Structure 1
Amino acid sequence: MLNSIDFNRRMTDVEYRLETKAVRGELANLQHRMKESKLPVIVLFEGWDSSGKGSMIANMIQTLDPRFFKVHNTKDPTPEEQRHPFLWRHWLRTPEKGKMAIFDESWYPEVSRARIESNLSTEEAYSRMESINTFERQLSQDGCLIIKFFLHISCKEQAKRHAKLMEDKNTRWRVTERDKFRNKHYKEYYRVYDEMLEKTNTVFAPWHVISAHERRSAMNEIYSIIVDSIRTALDKPKIIVPSEYQSQVHTFHLVKKPKLDEVPLYRRIEEDKYRTMLRHEQKKLSKLHNIVYRERIPIIIAYEGWDAAGKGGNIKRLTSALDPRGYEVIPIASPTPVEKMHHHLWRFWQNLPKDGHVAVFDRTWYGRVMVERLEGFCTEEEWKRAYQELNEFEYELEKWGAILIKFWLHIDSDEQLRRFTERQNTPEKQWKITDEDWRNREKWDLYETAVNDMIRLTSTEYAPWTIVESQDKKFGRIKAIQTLNDAIEARL
């Protein structure tokens, strides 16, 4: 892509003022339309050192209302950020609907410059590029407009700009030894940049390579692309999924699981045997947790199940064996107003543990294909698309190195009614039962269909569902801890 750029484009100051006056005014108007239409926009600038990324961002934001945009100056990941998945810190910076996020460098240095400066292997670089394409596609399909610029200058032009900065003692500090190294090895960087552009130039988020030899013509081209892109995004009635989409979607191998009505629920454990087994499994888990912490293996445990299936008690027995400094239980309720203004996976990316730690989710990202599906909180297109998104999310966790355990706590309808009635009639347990629980019970058959679909379509080889027979809570608790212990031992 880089070899097709013409460095000879020029524009006079008069031409620049005449051509950009109207387009700058339109950009200001479009920003308010973005806010009204709840269109999130990401504008990211990548390119060579000294290509003018900072000055062009500074020029651009003079046109915008500062209440509705944020500029992110992305640096190398900190030691703390390196303990999370590669895309974790970038997911957290995605904009709310109706706002704009402007990136002075973004996730791309971690798949380009890192190959030269951090010994990132080609295999890992390609894997990260695949993750980036998935990330950008998910955001785009959720309604986010992504505009990507790469500011291109020649090796000679870069050296000339470095020399000019070095002439003045007030700007000399801006040219670092790393900048000099990058100019000296321009051809090597050219190769990794060009490959990055080719592999991440998608129909959802295409690259715009800009000749940055002359600032005015570059800025004029940037303004025109931003305005045209936002105008197009606002005018189209909905996101059109192009045919090329299918070639960009990962195909996952699914593990066959029984339907809920095929799972026997008669299994039980006597009290004495339960106490002995619980102590044994908890003691084993406690030892394994110490090893996991030392080996920096992240663990994510996802609990779903019928209301009153015993999730709380199950979680309590499992976490009792863990060092409280090394785990967190994350209860998931209805999304907050801020969470609703982001992609539905945003709030779950926020709560991922760092490596060596355990996150226990009491309800999970699967609400999209259950309660949101059945209660009409998202469109049919959105919840059908979510199966793929959820598999991709968990695939990122697997690539990161996480142990991911997914439990569905299963009981039958009669047992749920018995537990509901007991809660209703026991004063100290009445807080556990709500009108919503009774309403959901009326939709048992619909929920069972949704759960069967969920298990069938998201039980992947790397993250299969474990159906926990919780008709007898004691049996369910033992099975959950044993399943976790087995998974950790298999990894170790």
Structure 2
Amino acid sequence: MFEATKVGRSVSKTEYKAQQDELRTQLLEVQREIIGTDTPVVVIVSGVEAAGKGEVVNRLNEWLDTRGVQTFAFWERSDEERERPRYWRFWRTLPRRGEISILFGGWYLDPIEHRFQGLCDDAALDAELNRIVDFERMLTNDGALIVKFWFHLSEPDQKKRLKELSRDDRSRWKMLPEKSKFSEQYKLFEHVAERVIRHSDRGIAPWYLVEAEDKRYRDLTVGKTLLQAIRARLNQPVVTEPPTAADPLELPESASAQITLLDQMDLTRSLARDAYKAQLKRLQQEVNELTWEAYKQRRSTVLVFEGVDAGGKGGAIRRITAAVDARLYRTMSVAAPTDEEKGHHYLWRFWRHVPRAGHMIIYDRSWYGRVLVERIEGFASEAEWRRAYAEINEFEDELVENGAILLKFWLQVSEEEQLRRFKDREDTPYKRYKITDEDWRNREKWPQYKAAVNEMVARTSTEQAPWTLVEGDDKPYARIKVLQTVCDALRKALKDPKYKTSGGAVTRCGEHLPDKAE
């Protein structure tokens, strides 16, 4: 694979000077053009040691308008990053639509290093590369342009370059916090790199191999390649890649006449007032104790509340927050996305709020809006909400793999009970803020929402993240069921020996490994 990067290409000083100004002008032009589009540009810079990756990035920042460019290097993890899933740090660096992010190594850095060091085998590496391919497909389907550069040197050229750098006290290479020393086993590193590139070189996000022996040739090649990639995107719409496997679920397009999961719920279930008070006190005390134990074990908790309007989500949430120390939790009420949130993939605003190890977040509405309200109201295209099921499952898998305790609740009431609650809200001054015209409009689309919920549960109730359906006509019964479910799940999860680690379980190549100081 790398033979084409060892043929000795070069560019003279005169030729370089003649091309540089024109290339810079054209890059600035396409950068201005892309600002008004829905396309974020992600540039990944990787390769062998001493290939000049830092020099290339500095050159790009010189040629482009840096007001629309951000550069990120993924060296040692911060405390915040160690306490969250690995991809959290990458989601934070994704550019807004119309802007550019340059990532040193990106999501490839850790898998390459871990395989090179023998911390995982080829099968584990391939599994992580499959996740990377899915991640890049998801970003590309949402409009992102991903341009991946691999800079390569022959072994003699690398040794020569490293010798030169070692003599230069001003060399940035010598200032890096840690040098991986991949050069000491050149053949092994090249073998790992080839496996990574072959596995992840896809039409939606191809790798560009760049010969790095001659600096002028290297820099011009990168600039021209980036220019061509952005121009190609400006000249034609995104071509989305179909799923890698057939969808195993065949659900009817219109299920309004079908019996759904919601139809099978017994909404007559209730709980006597005295029994409710006694169980509420006991369960709230238990929730308090379990959340402190989760804090001690560094296990984060993610609670997702969805349901019909006036289904009792707020009341159930308040019974939980009344029991949990305020220092341990946050409640996020999800409304229409802000302009900043619209500028990113729809999951971005949820990734950024993933809690630190030991803490809890409660989502009042969540990422499932993509397959519910956005689907029904036409805010998302059919292609967008259909691929969201797999994207959501992957997101939740990453949370659970990192040690998060994830619980998802759907609160359901009958049409008659919902109507009664709507009228009660209109007649009660301090409840009127809860009822809006949108609630009445949603009620008119009850059959469509029922079909969408049925499909949502069927496609996203997984072994790692199952749905809990809560019968909500009787508020005391619903609240106790939610609390009991939370207690049972926390108690079971906190006894799981697999997660008796700091900051979650290490399950995949590239995942967080404890630092020597930990």
User: What range describes the TM-score normalised by the shorter chain of this pair?
Assistant: over 0.9
Structure 2: which amino acid aligns with 1:246?
A: T
Q: CA deviation at 1:352?
A: 0.7
Counterpart residue identity of residue 386, structure 1:
A
- Deviation string for 1:426-456 (max 9, x for gaps)? 1121122122222222222222222222112
2:260–2:451 Cα contact (<8 Å) kept? no
Q: Give the distance between the partners of 1:349 and 1:131, measured in 2 at CA.
A: 16
Between Structure 1 and Structure 2, how many residues are aligned? 487
Q: 1:281–1:470: structure 2 CA closer, same or farther, 3 Å change rule?
A: same
**Structure 2 matches for 1:274-285, cutoff 5 A?**
274-285=276-287
Q: Which residue of 2 aligns with 1:246?
A: 244
- Which residue does the alignment assign to 2:203? 203
Q: In the alignment, what sits opposite 1:429?
A: 431
* Deviant stretches of 4+, over 6 Å: 249-254
Question: 2:471 is matched with which residue?
Answer: 469
What is the aligned partner in structure 2 of residue 106 from structure 1? 106
Residue in structure 1 matched with residue 505 of structure 2 by the alignment: none
Q: 1:180 to 1:480 in 2, by over 3 A?
A: closer
Aligned residue type for 2:240: V
Cα distance, 1:242–1:172 mapped onto 2, change above 3 Å: closer
Answer yes or no: is the 8 Å Cα contact 1:468–1:476 preserved in 2.
yes
State how far apart, in whole Å, the 2-side matches of 1:10 and 1:253 are. Answer: 56
Preserved CA contact (<8 Å) 1:301 1:360: yes
Equivalent position of 2:348 in the other structure: 346
Say which SS state the counterpart of residue 95 (structure 2) adopts: coil
User: Residues 126 and 489 of structure 1: is their aligned pair in 2 closer, same or farther, counting only changes over 3 Å?
Assistant: farther
**Residues 434-453 of structure 1 aligned to structure 2 (within 5 Å):** 434-453=436-455
Change in Cα spacing, 1:393 to 1:300, as seen in structure 2 (3 Å) is: same
- Per the alignment, residue 129 of structure 1 pairs with 129
Q: Is the 8 A contact 1:74 1:106 kept in 2?
A: yes
Where do residues 410-421 of structure 1 align in structure 2 (5 Å cutoff)?
410-421=412-423
State the partner residue of 1:14. Answer: 14
| Conserved? CA contact 1:27–1:227, under 8 Å | yes
User: Is the deviation greater in 26-35 or in 184-193?
Assistant: 184-193
Unaligned regions of 5+ residues in structure 1, if any?
A: none
Q: 1:228 & 1:58 partners in 2: Cα distance?
A: 20
The CA distance in 2 between the partners of 1:207 and 1:169, in whole Å, is 33
> Residue type of the partner of 1:59?
R
- 1:25-36 matches, cutoff 5 A: 25-36=25-36
Offset at residue 154 of structure 1 (A): 2.6
Cross-structure match for 1:260: 262
Q: Which residue of 2 aligns with 1:192?
A: 192
State whether residues 201 and 207 of structure 1, in contact with CA within 8 Å, keep that contact through their aligned partners in structure 2. Answer: yes
- C-alpha distance 204-377 of structure 1, shift in aligned 2 (>3 A): same
**Contact between 2:6 and 2:154, CA under 8 Å: does it hold in 1?**
no
Q: Quote how far apart the aligned CAs of 1:394 are.
A: 1.3
Q: 1:374 aligns with which of 363, 373, 376?
A: 376
1:488 corresponding residue in structure 2: 490
CA distance in 2 between counterparts of 1:423 and 1:212 reads: 68
Whole-Å separation in 2 of the counterparts to 1:240 and 1:184: 42
Q: Which residue of 2 aligns with 1:70?
A: 70
Q: Is the 8 A contact 2:260 2:450 kept in 1?
A: no
* Structure 1 residue 420: Cα displacement: 0.9
Q: Which runs of 5+ in 2 are unaligned?
A: 252-258, 496-518
Whether the aligned pair in 2 keeps the contact of 1:20 and 1:223 (CA below 8 Å) is: no
The C-alpha deviation readout for 1:109-157, integer Å capped at 9, x for no partner, is: 1111234459456565444333322221111000000000011113332
Contact 2:306 2:365 in 1 (8 A): yes
What is the rounded CA distance, in whole Å, between the counterparts of 2:290 and 2:210 in structure 1?
A: 53
Cα separation, 2, equivalents of 1:193 and 1:253: 40
CA RMSD of aligned residues (A): 2.5
Question: Any conservation in 1 of the 2:141–2:241 contact (CA below 8 Å)?
Answer: no
Partners of 1:433 and 1:312 in 2: CA distance = 13
Whether the aligned pair in 2 keeps the contact of 1:7 and 1:213 (CA below 8 Å) is: no
**Which shifted more, 360-369 or 185-194?**
185-194
Q: Residue deviations 1:194-247, cap 9 Å, x none?
A: 2222222223211111110111111222122111211111111x322345x425
Amino acid at match of 1:2: F
TM-score (normalizing by structure 1): 0.92
Once the two structures are superposed, the pairs formed by residues 77-92 of structure 1 within 5 Å of their partners are: 77-92=77-92
Deviates more, 1:339-348 or 1:34-43: 34-43
Higher deviation after alignment, 439-448 or 338-347: 439-448
1:471 shift after superposition: 0.6
**What TM-score do the two structures reach when normalised by structure 2?**
0.88
Is the CA contact (8 Å cut-off) linking 2:304 and 2:409 kept in structure 1? yes
Which one has the bigger helix percentage? Answer: 1
After superposition, the Cα gap between the structure-2 partners of 1:132 and 1:485, relative to the gap in structure 1 and judged at 3 Å, is same
Q: What secondary structure sits across from 1:147 in the alignment?
A: strand
Q: 1:141 is matched with which residue?
A: 141
The equivalent residue for 2:254 is none
1:339–1:123 distance in 2 versus 1, CA, 3 Å: same
Q: Which has the higher contact order (CA 8 A, sep 6+)?
A: 2
Alpha-carbon distance in structure 1 between the residues aligned to 2:325 and 2:195:
45
The secondary structure found in structure 1 opposite 2:63 is: coil
- In the TM superposition, residue 89 of structure 1 has moved relative to its aligned partner by 0.9
Alpha-carbon distance, 1:180 to partner? 8.0
Tell me the distance in 2 between the aligned counterparts of 1:230 and 1:377.
27
CA distance in 1, matches of 2:206, 2:385: 26
Preserved contact between residue 165 and residue 175 of structure 1 (Cα < 8 Å): no
Counterpart contact for 1:38–1:99, Cα < 8 Å: no
Q: Among the aligned pairs, what percent are the same residue?
A: 38
